[in-house]
Amino acid sequence: MLEKQRITILGSTGSIGKSALDVVRHYPDRFEVVGLAAHQNISLLLKQIAEFQPACVAVSDPNALAALRQHDPPTTVLDDDRPLESLATIPVDTVLCAVVGAVGLRPLLAAIDAGNRVAVANKEPFVMAGRLVMERARKRGVEVLPVDSEHNAIFQCIHGHEQSDVACIHLTASGGPFYGRERSALEEVLPEEATKHPTWDMGAKISVDSATLMNKGLEIIEAMWLFDLPAEQIDVVIHPQSIIHSLVEFRDGNILAHLGVTDMKFPILFALTYPERVELPMKRLDLTAMKALTFDVPDFSAFPCLALARQAAITGGTAPAILNAANEEAVSAFCDHRLGFLQISDVVDAVCSMIESSSGYHLEAVLAVDQRAREAAQGVIARYAL
Ligand code: NDP
Ligand code: MG
């Protein structure tokens, strides 16, 4: 009988977390859920505890933690200062990192330091501190498996090839809900429209990032660290059908592409079971039903976030951490109706010019600059609100 794979899911109540538990549901004999972590959604976490019977859970929001305790769930509830980090260090086969934002950095590092293999959807830690994450993983001999669909695609295309043979990576972008619109037509956009993605069903923050194209900018930086390539070798192409999830071009001109349906369960299963290939009883891509696969250049003037992220990637050091923090604050303000859609890039641009980046990349430097960039962003956002 197959030995069960022990997994922990950080962010089990989110879009990726729920998809991962759907995957687990298909394979009750293959996976054992050891740990689950949530932030505020206690009602869903309680259902997940009842169904998957994890040994331990962590809740980062203190009020939500108190509410969970009142239900006296049949599991160990971690209650130290940094419960997600503690959960991430419990020995398992894979920790799936699926919280949203910079808050995922410490738990990701904790999982790596504990020697746990990591499957990473949470891209912001790579943007903030990709060098640090990859160095720690190398030192600890820990595998880092990308879940983000483009990076998962590249991982599969690049496998078995010499890294020095890679000429460039083409990251595909759907273009988001506002693809084809002029900048002037984006003035009045509301959060409800920005979070309606045409091809993927995702959490609010990444949906807004997809609408501004910041998501693709963050993915350039994520790819730099995952595949050890400079920003100049990573290119973005708009592909509205989201069938090709990314492509790798080799120096001899051959290009390998990865195709698939737009469902995160596929990259999640791949990462959890790698290097095995496991059958997923789900709808496959019907090649003959596809009408056209089209490709386009991004519109940098309507979507300035992409250029801002590329610039931060080229500057390097703490510049991407500054960009990421400013963007998180701006997206949060936009979702709360405190900031207009077009002002998201204005805030990021302003903060990137206000705060000088440094070449340091140790954890304290990254966290300090993250904090400074957030404070600066709050100031800029407050001025817009006047
Ligand atoms: P969601 O917003 O749907 O879920 C976020 C998860 O993180 C929830 O479990 C939430 O808990 C938890 N969380 C929120 N804030 C905190 C916090 N301060 N501390 C700890 N946990 C917190 O996001 P997604 O699932 O869409 O995305 C997760 C990550 O994966 C992001 O980094 C995103 O960029 C990346 N990603 C997502 C894809 C997708 O298809 N959704 C595709 C590729 C990458 P709770 O709900 O309990 O409050
Ligand atoms: Mg992606």
Q: What is the pLDDT of residues 104-160, one digit of tens each?
A: 999 999 999 999 999 999 999 999 999 999 999 999 999 999 999 999 999 999 999
Could you tell me which residues come within 8 angstroms of residue 110 by beta carbon, excluding any fewer than 6 positions away? 82, 84, 85, 86, 88, 89
Residue 269 lies in a domain: no
Please report whether residue 271 resides in a domain: no
Clarify whether residues 171 and 140 are in a common domain: no
Across the chain, mean pLDDT equals 96
Same domain, 190 and 326: yes
- Do the beta carbons of residue 334 and residue 341 sit within 8 Å? yes
Judge if 206 and 317 occupy the same domain. yes
CATH number at residue 335: 1.10.1740.10
| Among protein residues, the one whose CA lies closest to atom 17 of ligand 1 | 39
What atom of ligand 1 comes closest to residue 122's alpha carbon? 32
Domain check: are 128 and 176 in the same one? no
**Closest listed residue to residue 171, CA positions, set 124, 115, 234:** 234
The two tokens of residue 247 are: 């492509």
Can you read off the two tokens belonging to residue 196?
């309606």
Residue range of the domain that includes 370: 162-262+290-384
Ligand 1 environment, Cβ below 6 A: 11, 13-17, 38-41, 60, 84, 98-100, 103, 121-124, 148, 200, 202-206, 264
Count Cβ atoms below 10 Å from residue 258 Cβ, excluding itself: 20
Task: Assess contact for 360 and 207: CB atoms under 8 A.
Answer: no
Q: Are residues 135 and 193 in the same domain?
A: no
- CA–centroid distance, residue 1 to ligand 2 (Å): 36
Tell me which of 39, 106, 261 to substitute to probe ligand 1's pocket, judged by most ligand atoms within 8 Å of the beta carbon.
Answer: 39
Query: pTM score, two decimals?
Result: 0.98
Instruction: Let me know: does 206 contact 135? Beta carbons within 8 Å.
Output: no
Phi/psi zone of residue 175: left (φ > 0), alpha (ψ -120 to 50 degrees), beta? left
For residue range 189-199, what is the model confidence (pLDDT) as tens digits? 999 999 987 88
Q: Is 85 in the same domain as 47? A: yes
Residue 356 pLDDT: 94
Q: Beta strand pairing status for 244-250 and 166-173?
A: antiparallel
Residue 53: CATH number of its domain: 3.40.50.720
Tokens, residue 102: 């910079």
**Atom 16, ligand 1: residue with shortest CA distance:** 39
Distance of CA 204 to the CA centre of its chain: 12
Residues in Cβ contact with 254 at an 8 Å cutoff, skipping those fewer than 6 apart: none
Of 86-90, 280-284, 313-317, 381-385, the one with minimum mean pLDDT is: 280-284
Q: How far apart are the C-alpha atoms of 386 and 382, rounded to whole Å? A: 7
- Measured in angstroms, how far is the CA atom of residue 268 from the centroid of ligand 2? 12
Distance 371 CA to ligand 2 centre (A): 26
Ligand 1 atom index nearest CA of 201: 40
pLDDT score of 180: 95
Residue 277 lies in a domain: no
Tell me the C-alpha distance between 52 and 96, whole Å: 15
